[in-house]
Amino acid sequence: MLNFRHNLIKLIPKLLKAVIAQTAPVHSALSTCYSTSLKYSFSISNTLQKVQNPNCSKYGITPAHRIHQSQLRGACSLVNSGKPLREKLMHDFELPSPLSGGKVTIVGLGHVGMACAISILSQNIASELVLVDRNPDKLRGETLDLQHGLAFVRNAQVYGDTQYSATAGSKLCIVTAGVPQGPGDSRTSLAPKNLEIFKEIIPRLVKYSPETILLIVTNPVDTLAYAAWKLSGFPANRVIGSGTNLDSSRFRFLLSQRLKVVPSICHGWIIGEHGDSSIPIWSDASLAGVRLRDVDSRVGTKKDVENWSQLHQEVVGSAQEIIKLKGYTSWGIGLSVAALTRAILENSQSSYAVSTLVQGIHDISEDVFLSVPCILGDTGVSRIILQTLNSAELADLHNCAKSLYEIQKSLHF
């Protein structure tokens, strides 16, 4: 009897190792006993006895003299029914790769960031969505709220972290963090403060995803896209500002309302600064391929009796109007960013007006970021489309580049 107990006690550490390796929940019950001092061995054997296994002897333990090293594996089956349910349900093969190509990070969970998140999630664009914010309560609350809807969309992993390590391997990083426009604020006035915030964010994103594409949304977007380019050291194709993609969609919506058709058959680019000095290219505006100016050459000019130019003024004033009415803008920019995200992740090579490095384009000499029609895909901006601009449009574009350059010069990168 003494021999049996002595052998049993010697066996306990080996059994425990095997048990702990296989059964995590049982492990927590036994871990306090792992030091295997004599006084604990009795409680271990008690615990092991409680484990039910119809294949074992009455006390749940095979007597020591019948156990050999080679039988330790069999001895582990003693605690088979203590295996977690998960292990009884599934046998693991090759676990999912961490570099899926469909991972998107969103930094900043304000109204804009969350609108981007819900638009991306509900349209099944990303296979992995990582949310990053400084505020841990907001982060956890928003993450949970999105996760609770996952059963209704195609499978995606959604998780949140205050630490940037969680963003590693992102195909695309969307930056919305920063001080938002309040009623009456110009976007430009936000530049110095948001630049300081970017100095914290951009290097961390780059550190964990050195091959990522940066999509900048924070305003003033053109200046901050330039800042992100400088701070990241990335080639310019991998740094994009959401730019006038939204202005153009607002323009197409307003066209559609006046023409009483749907927006998808109305076309027109707004380029330049995402803001007061954006430029509508009326020469290209069309309905189902029919140029408005082929039908009436006065459209968008000073001679225009129907005052189509007013549509552009409404676009410029849109954000402030919505901010006055509901406090902030969210859904429009969210859907805009989701469309850009899809183009990049799906390598669709479709065209969008986004903010890119335009030095050398249309004879612009300054190194600034502003919006022109670009082709987007898995390398970010793969091509810039060279529109045929008339002299007035070119002049506006050059003025826009100059004023953006002035703003940049005043900032400390």
Binding footprint of other proteins on the chain (CB under 8 A): 25, 81-82, 84-86, 88-90, 114-115, 117-119, 121-123, 137-138, 140-142, 144-155, 157, 246, 248-250, 252-253, 256, 259, 261-264, 287, 318, 321-322, 324-327, 329-332, 334-336, 338-339
Angle among Cα 29, 33, 34 to the nearest 5 degrees reads 105
Q: Minimum distance from CB of 123 to other proteins (Å)?
A: 5
Of 27, 274, 312, 412, the catalytic one is 274
Of 338 and 345, nearer to other proteins (C-beta) is 338
Of 92 and 363, nearer to other proteins (C-beta) is 92
Distance CA 33, CA 30 (A): 5
Q: Are strands 266-267 and 286-287 parallel, antiparallel or unpaired?
A: antiparallel
Q: Minimum distance from CB of 182 to other proteins (Å)?
A: 15
Instruction: Respond yes or no: is residue 65 known to be catalytic.
Output: no
Find all residues with CB under 8 Å of 17, minimum gap 6, and list them: none
- Count CB neighbours of 308 within 10 A: 21
Of 123 and 399, nearer to other proteins (C-beta) is 123
Angle among Cα 207, 210, 212 to the nearest 5 degrees reads 120
Of 5 and 138, nearer to other proteins (C-beta) is 138
Q: Minimum distance from CB of 142 to other proteins (Å)?
A: 6
Q: Residue 50 corresponds to which tokens in the numbers above? A: 């409680």
Angle among Cα 69, 26, 13 to the nearest 5 degrees reads 35
* C-alpha distance from residue 177 to each of 107, 109, 183, 353, 357 (Å): 6, 7, 18, 22, 22
Q: Minimum distance from CB of 256 to other proteins (Å)?
A: 8
Would you name the residues annotated as active-site residues? Answer: 274
